[in-house]
């Protein structure tokens, strides 16, 4: 037996049962007897450690917290040192280390978009009614906020949105039944990724197939792996998660790593404030993601695909889980896909409230049962990814383009959009626009055209600023209205396209508060691993609070510049690299100047 | 141990370091190459007897073709790499890392060279604001037994103690990082008291702590009564007599009394790590204690 000291607290019967069931549902746990029996630390093992996150979810769901007895039981079953498991549990916002006071916790989004719609008043109102309420970072419901993620004990989590402060009593019960999707461009023949959204029944495989579903997989199986990658390379498809890396190059790099198991990871941890595109795709067209992942898995030679989905997306998780079950039954996933003899299967892993886990290497650590701390790169995921094996990580929207590339060919796809930005792009419109929601445009559309499609500016006062790319992006003023939102044009303009966020603000909005909320977001979401980000995000927020009601003096600006430099130059990952970018743009544009 | 083997047949890699071409053995890190070229590089979380975790970011250097700065402690050199260790960006980042730490953590008992870097890089932690108005790690000292003192307001989260307790040395895993962001801290499970945790009191965490956050109780007590005087301490090398392994011990004595025991980190048997007997089994030498 490994030499690990466990505690003496005992689990409750329901905790024990929940943990046992969770672990069993992942198949038999095999413990390979090796020379080294200590399964912990930085020694990566696939055998048990990766079940830690699902087991913690089971505990939280059953008892409403991670109790000492429950945690100790998990540690015994999985042979994990209790101090390490405690370190993992305390990393995530959705795991509580205090016993619950009721049977649910309301996580109320008061991030930038929802706070424009009265989120902070909603928090006060819900507290007054006696609910256990916690302010939350962006819940990805920006087009219909304020929104609440209802984390329940022993029953299904849910999300309620469109809160009406006048009817707060009925809001929690009535709005949870509301059907979700309102697509502003519904029915438009310019849609590519969104054609089936709101049209088909997301729970019906037959409905998906009658809308052209699984034609691409059939064709892909005939084409062969190399040809798939060839078409994707020709399409010029670039990642839609924010980094814009060419998908074909990534896939080829993984496919070329011979001799080791490969993984496909779908990054569905959509947490960039203002972003909700992947949620809409997963909730309303779940089979499309599964088909796309299957094609990707075949192409890169992975037999295992993972969907890492944020814990605050319960509907998407339920629908994808159901869809995976149905496709498995129909032979579209599993050991013999469509009779081809090829293997591919998908496992869903839920995040637990940590923006940082959208960073690909933090995501690997999170799946593997470690703290979601990013790894230093290089080595890159294509050679040393999940479980240290070659891994392709793709965003949901990126993958959603694959069936069309297979069916119509890479060149047809490349002909859409511009030279360097092929295809279409999803844009998440929120804030002061008439029709907030998810929009799809061929690359090349200008910021103004997109705003016009959303009914233009709406609200008190006049349009003052637009936040592009989320909290990690940058503010622009109405002067940038003619900027085409392509990868190349935004890069040249020194702004970020990021995850497709377009959030409009009026001159009557308190932009100082918005900027402070962004600073608070990064402070809360920093993993704490590296000094520049752990301390830098705190000092950045303190500085902004100090200068919030007065114009900054030279010393303030030089301190901000130094903080921004060390975070962007010396942090380990993208969170630190971009933690000052939106704030810097707001300062540069004079958006915070007091009159 | 981490010194590159001096084997003439070893493949050499040519790099440009601060405009000078040098060759270093394949597999060396940039930090190894800097040492070879006698370039002083500050490090906090790196130690020769631990796996690099590259979290403190004070050793960053500029590598041509890389957008962000690169941690020299963990990045292996590559043929043709062009490295700069004293550019403005490098100096700003190093100065700021030290400034950020010094503004949030008590560093008066940190290793001498750390305090030296704070001065030489021109860090000015005071400009972050009045220490009563900004977030710091201020907290009470943890004294839960007769051997260890954990003074976490001096902790810079370099992860060295976690590594020494874990699979870099002791394989006990009594402590890990808990919490997140600025609230991240070194902790036992549910912050259990050390005697109730998995801790075996090998003292290896104390051995690697660079800031005095983890100290022997003897040292802590002497510091409290102002009698701790490293300048008047003598180091005597000996070999531990408790078992047959043959660990090298360095007995630190002050006024003819043992006040602390360490082991050299380049020693082939211990790599700087000991067990409870070697580390604390000297107390019978001073029976009045």
CATH 3.30.465.10 is the classification of domain A424-506: no
The verdict on whether omega for the bond into residue A16 sits within 30 degrees of 0, i.e. cis, is no
Same domain, B208 and B247: yes
Find the residue in A nearest to B128 (Cα). Answer: A539
**Strand positions, DSSP E, A330-482:** 345-350, 391-395, 424-431, 437-442, 463-468, 474-476
- Structure confidence at residue A562 (pLDDT): 98
- Structure confidence at residue A557 (pLDDT): 94
CB contact under 8 Å between A86 and B127, yes or no, is no
CB contact under 8 Å between A84 and B176, yes or no, is yes
Alpha-carbon torsion (A216, A221, A227, A230), positive or negative:
positive
Same domain, B127 and B11: yes
Same domain, B196 and B276: yes
- Cα torsion A97, A99, A103, A105 to 10°: value is -40
Same domain, B110 and B175: no
CB contact under 8 Å between A68 and B190, yes or no, is yes
For the residues of B227-270, what is the DSSP string, one character each? Answer: ---GGGEEEEEEE--SSSS--EEEEEEETTEEEEEE--TT-TTT
Residues of B in Cβ contact (< 8 Å) with A379: none
Domain's final residue, options B111, B135, B159? B135
Residues of B in Cβ contact (< 8 Å) with A52: none
- Structure confidence at residue A36 (pLDDT): 45
CB contact under 8 Å between A87 and B135, yes or no, is no
- Structure confidence at residue A164 (pLDDT): 75
B141 falls within a domain? no
Beta-carbon pairs below 8 A across chains A and B: 177
CB contact under 8 Å between B129 and A42, yes or no, is no
CB contact under 8 Å between A41 and B167, yes or no, is yes
d(CA A312, CA A351): 8
d(CA B52, CA A323): 43
Find the residue in A nearest to B68 (Cα). Answer: A569
Nearest to A429 by CA among A458, A407, A400, A402: A458
Question: Could you give the angle at the alpha carbon of A115 between the alpha carbons of A110 and A118, nearest 5°?
Answer: 110
CB contact under 8 Å between A566 and B157, yes or no, is no
Same domain, B85 and B124: yes
- One digit per residue, the tens of pLDDT, for chain A of length 595 reads 457 899 999 999 999 999 999 998 886 655 554 444 444 444 444 468 899 999 999 999 999 999 999 999 999 999 899 999 999 999 999 999 999 999 999 999 999 999 999 999 999 999 998 999 999 999 999 999 899 999 999 999 999 988 877 777 677 776 655 566 889 999 999 999 999 999 999 999 999 999 999 999 999 999 999 999 999 999 999 999 988 999 999 999 999 999 999 999 999 999 999 999 999 999 999 999 999 999 999 999 999 999 999 999 999 999 999 999 999 999 999 999 999 999 999 999 999 999 999 999 999 999 999 999 999 999 999 999 999 999 999 999 999 999 999 999 999 999 999 999 999 999 999 999 999 999 999 999 999 999 999 999 998 999 999 999 999 999 999 999 999 999 999 999 999 899 999 999 999 999 999 999 999 999 999 999 999 999 999 999 999 999 987 878 999 999 999 999 999 999 999 999 999 999 999 999 999 876 5
Residues of A in Cβ contact (< 8 Å) with B89: 565, 569
d(CA B57, CA A299): 38
CA distance B114 to chain A (A): 15
Instruction: Provide the domain limits for residue B219.
Output: 148-285
CB contact under 8 Å between A542 and B173, yes or no, is no
CB contact under 8 Å between B60 and A538, yes or no, is no
Same domain, B169 and B254: yes
Residues 6+ apart with CB under 8 A from A513: A115
CA distance A39 to chain B (A): 10
Nearest to A327 by CA among A310, A305, A308, A309: A305
State the CATH architecture for A104-177.
Answer: 3-Layer(aba) Sandwich (3.40)
CB contact under 8 Å between A530 and B55, yes or no, is yes
Q: Which helix (H) or strand (E) holds A23?
A: helix A13-25
B278 falls within a domain? yes
CB contact under 8 Å between A86 and B190, yes or no, is yes
Same domain, B55 and B8: yes
Alpha-carbon distance values, A132 to A102, A198, A269 (Å): 7, 34, 25
Residues of A in Cβ contact (< 8 Å) with B166: 40-42
Domain's final residue, options B103, B135, B167? B135
B113 falls within a domain? yes
Same domain, B240 and B262: yes
Q: Which CATH number goes with the domain that contains B28?
A: 3.10.20.740
- Structure confidence at residue A42 (pLDDT): 41
B234 falls within a domain? yes
- What are B201's two structure tokens? 């009191």
Same domain, B117 and B162: no
Out of B92, B104, B198, closest to residue A81 by CB? B198
Domain A511-588 -> CATH class: mainly alpha
Same domain, B93 and B153: no
B140 falls within a domain? no
Find the residue in A nearest to B100 (Cα). Answer: A535
Residues of A in Cβ contact (< 8 Å) with B193: none
Percent above pLDDT 90 for chain B = 91
CA distance B41 to chain A (A): 15
Band the pLDDT of B2: cuts 50, 70, 90.
Answer: very low
pTM of the model: 0.95
Number of domains in chain B: 2
Average pLDDT over residues B262-283: 94
CB contact under 8 Å between A7 and B189, yes or no, is yes
CA distance B67 to chain A (A): 8
Residues of A in Cβ contact (< 8 Å) with B101: 531, 535
Residue A80's Cβ-side half-sphere holds a number of Cα atoms within 13 Å equal to 33
CB contact under 8 Å between A532 and B181, yes or no, is no
Q: Which CATH number goes with the domain that contains B191?
A: 2.20.25.90
Residues of B in Cβ contact (< 8 Å) with A97: 190
Question: Could you give the angle at the alpha carbon of A138 between the alpha carbons of A132 and A141, nearest 5°?
Answer: 95
CB contact under 8 Å between A542 and B180, yes or no, is no
The SS3 of residue A307 is strand
Residue B232's Cβ-side half-sphere holds a number of Cα atoms within 13 Å equal to 7
Residue B125 has pLDDT above 60, yes or no: yes
Find the residue in B nearest to A522 (Cα). Answer: B181
CB contact under 8 Å between A572 and B55, yes or no, is yes
CA distance B34 to chain A (A): 18
Phi then psi for A80, rounded to 5 degrees?
A: -120, 135
CB contact under 8 Å between A86 and B188, yes or no, is yes
Same domain, B130 and B154: no
Q: Render pLDDT for B84-124 as a digit per residue (tens, 0 to 9).
A: 999 999 999 999 999 999 999 999 999 999 999 999 999 99
Out of A81, A532, A577, closest to residue B100 by CB? A532
For the residues of B66-90, what is the DSSP string, one character each? Answer: -SS-EETTTPBP-TT-EEESSSHHH
B192 falls within a domain? yes
Q: What is the CATH number of domain A205-415?
A: 3.40.50.11540
Domain's final residue, options B88, B104, B135? B135
Out of A83, A542, A555, closest to residue B188 by CB? A83
Out of A5, A87, A542, closest to residue B176 by CB? A87
B142 falls within a domain? no
Find the residue in A nearest to B174 (Cα). Answer: A83
Same domain, B64 and B162: no
Q: Is B4 left (phi over 0), alpha (psi -120 to 50) or beta?
A: beta
Instruction: Please answer whether residues A60 and A96 qualify as being in contact, where contact means their C-beta atoms are separated by less than 8 angstroms.
Output: yes
CB contact under 8 Å between B104 and A535, yes or no, is yes
CB contact under 8 Å between A526 and B180, yes or no, is yes
d(CA B285, CA B289): 9
Band the pLDDT of B271: cuts 50, 70, 90.
Answer: very high
Out of A4, A537, A570, closest to residue B57 by CB? A570
- What are B21's two structure tokens? 């071409």
Residues of A in Cβ contact (< 8 Å) with B171: 3, 38, 41
Find the residue in A nearest to B194 (Cα). Answer: A83
3-state secondary structure A215-253: HHHHHHHHHCHHHHHHHHHHHCCECCCCCCCEHHHHHHH
Tell me what the pLDDT averaged over chain B comes to.
94
CB contact under 8 Å between B176 and A68, yes or no, is no
Out of A68, A87, A524, closest to residue B178 by CB? A87
- Structure confidence at residue A340 (pLDDT): 96
Question: Where are chain A's structural domains?
Answer: 13-89, 104-177, 205-415, 424-506, 511-588
């Amino acid at each position: 037996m490994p030499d690990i000291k466990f505690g003496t607290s005992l689990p409750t019967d329901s905790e024990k049962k929940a943990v046992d069931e969770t672990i069993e549902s992942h198949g038999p746990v095999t413990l390979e007897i090796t020379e080294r029996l200590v399964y912990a630390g930085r020694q990566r093992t696939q055998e048990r450690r990766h079940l830690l996150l699902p087991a913690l979810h089971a505990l939280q769901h059953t008892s409403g917290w991670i109790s000492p007895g429950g945690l100790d039981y998990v540690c015994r079953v999985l042979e994990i040192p209790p101090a390490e498991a405690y370190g993992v549990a305390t990393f995530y916002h959705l795991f509580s280390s205090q016993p619950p006071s009721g049977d649910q916790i309301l996580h109320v989004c008061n991030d930038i978009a929802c706070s424009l719609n009265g989120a902070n008043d909603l928090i006060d109102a819900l507290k007054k009614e006696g609910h256990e309420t916690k302010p939350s970072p962006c819940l990805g419901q920006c087009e219909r906020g304020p929104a609440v993620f209802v984390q329940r004990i022993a029953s299904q989590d849910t999300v309620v949105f469109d809160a009406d402060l006048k009817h707060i009593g009925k809001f929690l019960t009535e709005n949870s039944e509301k059907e979700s999707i309102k697509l502003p461009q519904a029915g438009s023949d310019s849609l590519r990724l969104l054609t089936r959204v709101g049209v088909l029944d997301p729970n019906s495989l037959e409905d998906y197939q009658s809308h052209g579903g699984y034609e691409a997989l059939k064709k892909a199986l005939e084409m062969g792996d190399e040809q798939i990658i060839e078409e994707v390379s020709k399409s010029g498809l670039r990642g839609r998660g924010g980094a814009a890396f060419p998908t074909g190059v990534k896939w080829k790099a993984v496919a070329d790593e011979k001799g080791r198991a490969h993984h496909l990871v779908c990054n569905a941890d959509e947490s960039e404030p203002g972003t909700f595109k992947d949620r809409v795709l997963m909730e309303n067209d779940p089979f499309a993601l599964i088909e796309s992942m299957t094609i990707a898995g075949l192409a890169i030679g992975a037999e295992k695909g993972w969907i890492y989905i944020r814990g605050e997306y319960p509907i998407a998780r339920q629908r994808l889980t159901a869809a995976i079950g149905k496709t498995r039954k129909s032979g579209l996933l599993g050991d013999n896909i469509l009779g081809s003899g090829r293997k591919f299967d998908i496992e869903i892993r839920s995040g637990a409230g940590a923006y940082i886990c959208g960073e690909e290497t933090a995501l690997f650590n999170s799946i593997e049962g470690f703290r979601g701390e990013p790894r230093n790169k290089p080595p890159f995921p294509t050679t040393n990814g999940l479980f240290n094996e070659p891994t392709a990580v793709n965003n949901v929207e990126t993958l959603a383009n694959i069936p069309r590339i297979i069916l119509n060919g890479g060149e047809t796809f490349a002909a859409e959009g511009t030279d360097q930005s092929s295809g279409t792009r999803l844009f998440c419109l929120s804030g002061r626009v008439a029709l907030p929601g998810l929009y799809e445009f061929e690359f090349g559309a200008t910021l103004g055209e997109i705003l016009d499609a959303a009914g233009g500016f709406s609200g008190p006062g006049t349009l003052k600023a637009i936040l592009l790319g989320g909290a990690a992006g940058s503010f622009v003023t109405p002067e940038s209205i003619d900027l085409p939102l392509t990868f190349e044009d935004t890069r040249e303009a020194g702004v970020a396209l990021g995850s497709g966020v377009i959030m409009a603000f009026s001159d009557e909005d308190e932009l100082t508060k918005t900027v402070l909320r962004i600073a608070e977001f990064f402070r809360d979401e920093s993993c704490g691993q590296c000094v520049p980000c752990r301390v830098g995000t705190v000092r950045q927020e303190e500085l902004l609070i100090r200068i919030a009601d007065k114009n900054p003096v030279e010393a303030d600006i030089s301190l901000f510049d130094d903080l921004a430099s060390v975070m962007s130059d010396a942090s380990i990952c993208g969170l630190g690299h971009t933690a000052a970018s939106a704030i810097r743009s707001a300062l540069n544009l004079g958006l915070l100047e007091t009159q | 141990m981490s010194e590159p083997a001096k084997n003439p047949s070893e493949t050499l890699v040519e790099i440009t370091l601060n405009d000078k071409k040098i060759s270093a053995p394949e597999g060396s890190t940039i930090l190894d190459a800097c040492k070879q070229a006698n370039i002083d590089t500050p490090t906090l979380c790196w130690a020769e007897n631990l796996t690099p975790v590259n979290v403190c970011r004070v050793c960053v250097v500029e590598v041509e073709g890389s957008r962000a700065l690169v941690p020299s402690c963990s990045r292996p050199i590559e043929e043709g790499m062009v490295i700069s260790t004293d550019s403005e960006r490098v100096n700003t980042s190093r100065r700021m890392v030290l400034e950020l730490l010094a503004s949030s953590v008590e560093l008066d008992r940190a290793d001498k060279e750390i305090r030296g870097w704070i001065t030489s890089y021109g860090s000015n932690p005071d400009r972050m604001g009045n220490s009563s108005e900004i977030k710091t790690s201020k907290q009470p000292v943890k004294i839960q037994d007769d051997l260890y003192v954990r003074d976490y307001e001096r902790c810079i989260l370099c992860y060295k103690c976690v590594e020494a307790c874990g699979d870099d040395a002791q394989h006990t895993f009594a402590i890990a990082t808990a919490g997140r962001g600025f609230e991240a801290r070194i902790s036992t499970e549910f912050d259990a008291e050390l005697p109730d945790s998995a801790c075996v009191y090998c003292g290896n965490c104390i051995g690697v702590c660079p800031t005095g956050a983890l100290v022997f109780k003897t040292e802590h007590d002497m510091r409290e009564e102002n009698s701790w005087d490293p300048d008047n301490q003598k180091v005597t090398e000996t070999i531990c007599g408790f078992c047959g392994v043959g660990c090298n011990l360095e007995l630190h004595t002050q006024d003819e009394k043992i006040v602390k025991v360490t082991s050299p980190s380049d020693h082939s048997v211990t790599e700087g790590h000991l067990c409870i007997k070697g580390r604390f089994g000297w107390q019978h030498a001073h029976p009045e204690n």
